[in-house]
Chains A and B, each alone.
Chain A
Amino acid sequence: MIATLQIFLIISAALFSIGLLAALSRRHAIFILIGIEMMLAAANLNFIAFWQFSPVRAPQPVGVMFVIFTIAIAAAEAAVGLAMVIAVYRHFRTTNVDQLTRLKG
């Protein structure tokens, strides 16, 4: 098996789908965060793969830059998200997203 760009893209697509699965199917709020992190990781993998396989090499490591910023933003997102989980738990005494329907129209 030759590691081509296609293989990388398929692996990252799989990772993305697994993240989506975690975010959609699990009822615990933390899993939504885990799923989102996985999807972000899949996107990062894509960035790196496209950067490494691109026929034209830019003078700057553009893909790496993207990934660095994505990681920083993902870390911020994780911190805020987890803080929200704790705040929600404190308020409603549950982390089951099915029960958190205060925004129901």
Chain B
Amino acid sequence: MTDWITRNVWLVPATPIVAALLILGFGKHARRAATGVAILGQIAALIVSTCAFVPTLHSHEFRAFENFTWFTFGEQSLRIGFVLDPLAAAMMVMITLVGLCIFVFSLGYMADDKNFSRFFAYLSFFSGAMLGVVVANSLLLLFVFWELVGLASYLLIGFWIERPSAAAAAKKAFITTRIGDMGFFLGILWLYHQSGTLLFYDGGHGCLENVALLGASSTFIALLIFCGAAGKSGQFPLHVWLPDAMEGPTPVSALIHAATMVAAGVFLVARVYPIFSAGAVNGVTSSLIVVVWIGVVTGLMAALIAVAQSDIKRILAYSTVSQLGLMMVSLGVGGVAAGIMHLLAHGFFKALLFLGAGSVIHGLHHEQDIRKMGGLRKLMPVTFATYAVGMLALSGVPFFFSGGWTKEEVLHATSHWPSSHVPYFLLLLGVVLTALYMTRQVMYVFFGSSRAGSDHHAHESPSVMTVPLIILALCAIGLSIFLTPAWPWLESYLLGHEAHIDAHLLLQPMILVSLVLVGAGIGLGFWLYRRAGEVDPLQQKVPAVYRFLENKMWIDEIYEHTILALAAFASRVSDWMDRYIWDGLVRVIGGIGQIFGALTKGADEGVINAGVDETTVGARGVGRAMSRLHSGQIQIYLGVIALGMLALFLFYAWLT
């Protein structure tokens, strides 16, 4: 069994992809079959990944890979493969479990959509592609699945293609991530040039096992690969697509921001971490420094922007960007396990928050502006309770919520970074801001009294939507058992150590610091927004700052006026060149052709045509005469053939 699963780990991504193809084959009207196949496929993937999870528990430093030759060209052959190690196994279980909850939730959320079955096909495809990223043992194979994830996200963000904003958001997501992927691809090529293989692990010959051979180029390769990761995970210069991706249906947002797409970038950095840390002095390399600073800038900037957003999903989107920055910092300072733990925990509670937001949006008939909500605590009790769990986990309240422990780990790792202490303090500020904007959101949505009368028809969502919420909430709380410093099971599992129980570690001075910070954030939120009306209190007090943040620091506008303007200018220059220089040349050449044409035309008409015309007239006369022979009577034709035969007989008789 163990042997079989390590050899057939490809089954995990294959199952949802096959399900997706089946659903597309069923056609548009097979709604029941579509959901059945999609959910069955996801359950099967969950079971297989759990089976794959089991052998990784037994031994430390477990790593099984299965490589095979894809194709051969000349002397060289390109090999790809699949790998199973704790990192992949943990990710697989998280993705399939969260995915399953989202699938079930979509049953309720998308029930009225006319392209219901297509939605499930895309969803399955998305989850399969992401699982492929996780189990790939070759950078090339990973890249293939990576692009499939990009394609699936394009299809899903633009699922409501009839809305122009959705189509634009899908394009933006696709193109922005493509910019990063170009760097990623260059990195792959460079890596292949240097190491001659793209397999991660190959019994001592893989590219991750021989990073010392890369030498100085490892920094550049790592940075190029990081471009791709930054694009997918919405890091600072390329984060603009992520909030716009909220145009997709809410379950899609949950899938993109929790389990799949954005996780891919962080996962990629964790997977190729040996390249990043090659030649590290004291755990610091120049590529890791870049990762840390990009992460810090992203985390802080997104947290600030989130404070001033009014769309319930956009707030969550910016919080995702900010948390991803946090994970990147953690990876950069050397806390790989902490970063991945935060990624896993974040997967659960962010999916919970998005699905909760979906439930709210569903209950309020597609109202997304938090300023028009309020007082939903009593009307949607289940949604409120689960949302509160997600909010506390995201804010990082210690002891009971998984997010608290993992955030603690990240901060702990950052505080020991030898290079600089600035990231640590900036992250602490980020923690306060996170608690603040989450409190603001919850205050607006669930507390106070209703604004704009939108709650008159508000209702709790059906159980098909609330049960996944409850499951995810239980996961968000229950996961913390494995995360406490007293028994850091998950960390040891990821690092391949033995987990020890040490109750003294439960209380550390660090935890008090974060307790104070989170308390301050939440308290500030309560105090600021206790009587919040249509106008945001921050907007009243510091309107300039609020406006700056509300418009996302004008980053989109900056892009529009710099990069896009440059592109437009280049296009105008090319257009002008085309119109006047190249076109002029073409016109001159064309003119010469025309003169020649006129000359030959005269020769043609006077000399050649006259002769040809005469011949044609003659041929037509003959043809007309011959066509008289054709009576159209088929039997006469046959009779003539028979008479011809008779004539042959007579000729033969005359001969003999």
* Direct A–B contact in the complex, CB atoms closer than 8 angstroms: yes
Does A41 interact with chain B (Cβ within 8 Å)? no
Shortest distance from the beta carbon of B642 to any chain A beta carbon, whole Å: 6
Q: A20-B642, A24-B642 are in contact. Are A105 and B635 (CB under 8 A)?
A: no
**Smallest CB-CB separation from B636: which chain A residue?**
A24
Complex contacts, A97 vs chain B, CB 8 Å: 633-635
The answer to whether B634 touches A104, judged by C-beta atoms less than 8 angstroms apart, is: no
Q: List 22 A-B contacts (CB under 8 A).
A: A20-B642, A23-B638, A24-B638, A25-B635, A32-B634, A32-B635, A97-B633, A97-B634, A97-B635, A98-B633, A100-B632, A100-B634, A101-B631, A101-B633, A102-B632, A103-B632, A104-B630, A104-B631, A105-B626, A105-B627, A105-B629, A105-B632
Within 8 A of A (CB), among B610-656: 626-635, 638-639, 642
Compute how far the CA of A1 lies from the CA of B251 in the bound complex, rounded to whole angstroms.
95
Provide the residues of chain B in CB contact with A20, threshold 8 Å: 638, 642
Closest chain-A Cβ to B619's Cβ sits at a distance in Å of 15
Chain B interface, number of residues (Cβ within 8 angstroms) = 13
Known: A32-B635, A100-B634, A105-B628. 14 other contacts (CB 8 A): A20-B638, A20-B642, A23-B638, A32-B638, A100-B632, A101-B631, A101-B633, A103-B630, A104-B630, A104-B632, A105-B627, A105-B629, A105-B631, A105-B632
Task: Tell me the complex Cα distance, A102–B634, Å.
Answer: 11
CB distance from A19 to the nearest CB of B (A): 11
B642 touches A101 (CB 8 A): no
- Number of residues in A with C-beta < 8 Å to the partner? 13
Contact B630 A23 (CB under 8 A): no
Interface set, chain A 58-82, CB cutoff 8 A to B: none
1/0 contact string of A1-45 vs chain B (CB within 8 Å): 000000000000000000010011100000010000000000000
A8 vs B638: C-alpha distance in the bound complex, in angstroms? 25
A87 CB to closest chain B CB (Å) equals: 15
Which residue of B has the minimal Cβ distance to A35? B638
A30 to B627 Cα, complex, angstroms: 27
Q: How far is the CA of A98 from the CA of B632 in the complex (A)?
A: 9
Q: How far is the CA of A102 from the CA of B629 in the complex (A)?
A: 14
Residues of the B chain whose Cβ atoms lie less than 8 Å from the Cβ of A105: 626-632
Interchain CB contact under 8 A, A24 and B635: yes
Q: Contacts of A100 on B, CB cut-off 8 Å?
A: 632, 634
Task: Report how far A75 CA is from B356 CA in the complex, Å.
Answer: 71
Q: Write the nearest CB–CB distance from A22 to chain B, whole angstroms.
A: 11
Q: A35 → chain B, closest Cβ, in Å? A: 9
Residues of A near B634 (CB, < 8 A) are 32, 97, 100
The CA-CA distance from A100 to B631 in the complex, in Å, is: 10
Q: Tell me the complex Cα distance, A103–B632, Å.
A: 5
- Contacts of B629 on A, CB cut-off 8 Å? 105
A2 to chain B, nearest CB (A): 27
Which residues of chain B are near A25, meaning CB under 8 Å?
635
Please report the C-alpha to C-alpha distance between residue A105 and residue B623 in the assembled complex, in whole angstroms. Answer: 10
- Residue of A with least CB distance to B625: A105
With a cutoff of 8 Å between Cβ atoms, the chain A residues found around residue B642 in the complex are 20, 24
Residue contact B632 to A101, C-beta cutoff 8 Å? yes
Binary contact readout A84-105 vs B (1 if CB under 8 angstroms, 0 otherwise)? 0000000000000110111111
Q: Give CA–CA (A98, B635) in the complex, Å.
A: 8
**Which A residues are CB-close (under 8 A) to B638?**
20, 23-24, 32
Question: Once bound together, how far apart are the Cα atoms of A32 and B634, in whole Å?
Answer: 10
**Chain A's nearest CB lies how many Å from the CB of B44?**
49
For the complex, what is the distance from the CA of A105 to the CA of B629, rounded to whole Å?
A: 7
Please give me the residue from chain B that is nearest to A21 by CB atom. Answer: B642
A36 to B237, CA, bound (A): 82
The residues of B that contact A101 with a CB separation of less than 8 Å are 631-633
**In the complex, A20→B626 CA distance in Å?**
26
Which chain A residue lies CB-closest to B641?
A20
Q: In the assembly, what is the distance between CA of A80 and CA of B628, in Å?
A: 29
Q: Which of B518-534 contact A (CB under 8 A)?
A: none
Q: Which B residues are in CB contact (< 8 Å) with A23? A: 635, 638
What is the distance, in angstroms, from A30's C-beta to the closest C-beta of chain B? 13
Q: How far is the CB of A40 from chain B (nearest CB, A)?
A: 14
State in angstroms the CA–CA spacing of A105 and B642 once bound together.
Answer: 22
CB distance from A91 to the nearest CB of B (A): 15
A24 to B474, CA, bound (A): 92
| Residue among B629, B630, B634 facing the most chain A CB atoms (10 A cut-off) | B634
Distance in angstroms between the alpha carbons of A103 and B638 in the assembled complex:
15
> Shortest beta-carbon distance, A95 to chain B, in Å?
12
* Chain A, residue nearest B630 (CB): A105
Docked CA distance A97–B635 (Å): 8
* Chain A residue nearest in CB terms to B645: A20
Q: Residue on A with the closest CB to B624?
A: A105
Q: Which residues of B contact A103 (CB under 8 A)?
A: 630, 632
Q: Which residues of B contact A32 (CB under 8 A)?
A: 634-635, 638
- Give A25 to B639 CA distance when docked, in angstroms: 9
Closest B residue to A36 by beta carbon equals: B638
CB distance from B640 to the nearest CB of A (A): 10
Q: Which residue of A lies closest to B628 (CB)?
A: A105
Contacts of B626 in A (CB 8 A): 105
Chain A residue nearest to B639 in the complex (CB): A24
Of all chain B residues, the one with the shortest Cβ separation from A31 is B635
Residues in chain B near residue A102, CB distance under 8 A: 632
**Closest chain A residue, CB of each to CB of B637:** A103
> In the complex, what's the smallest C-beta–C-beta distance from B632 to chain A, in angstroms?
3
How far is B635's CA from A32's CA once the two chains are assembled, in angstroms?
8
> What residues of A have a CB within 8 angstroms of the CB of B631 in the complex?
101, 104-105
Q: Complex formed: what's the CA distance from A100 to B634 in Å? A: 8
B627 closest partner in A (C-beta): A105
Cα–Cα, bound, A104→B632 (Å): 4
Q: Produce 1/0 per residue, B587-605, CB < 8 A to A.
A: 0000000000000000000
CA distance A100 to B635 in the complex (A): 11
Please name all residues of chain A whose beta carbon is closer than 8 Å to the beta carbon of B627 when the two chains form the complex: 105
CB A60 to nearest CB in B, in angstroms, measures 31
Q: How far is the CA of A104 from the CA of B628 in the complex (A)?
A: 8
CA distance A27 to B620 in the complex (A): 34
CA separation between A103 and B627, bound complex, in Å? Answer: 10
**CB proximity of A54 to chain B, nearest CB, Å:** 23
Which residues in A have their C-beta under 8 angstroms from that of B633? 97-98, 101
List residues of chain A with CB within 8 A of the CB of B630. Answer: 103-105
The residue in chain B whose Cβ has the minimal distance to the Cβ of A25 is B635
Q: In the assembly, what is the distance between CA of A24 and CA of B631, in Å?
A: 15
Which chain B residues border A98 with CB–CB below 8 Å? 633
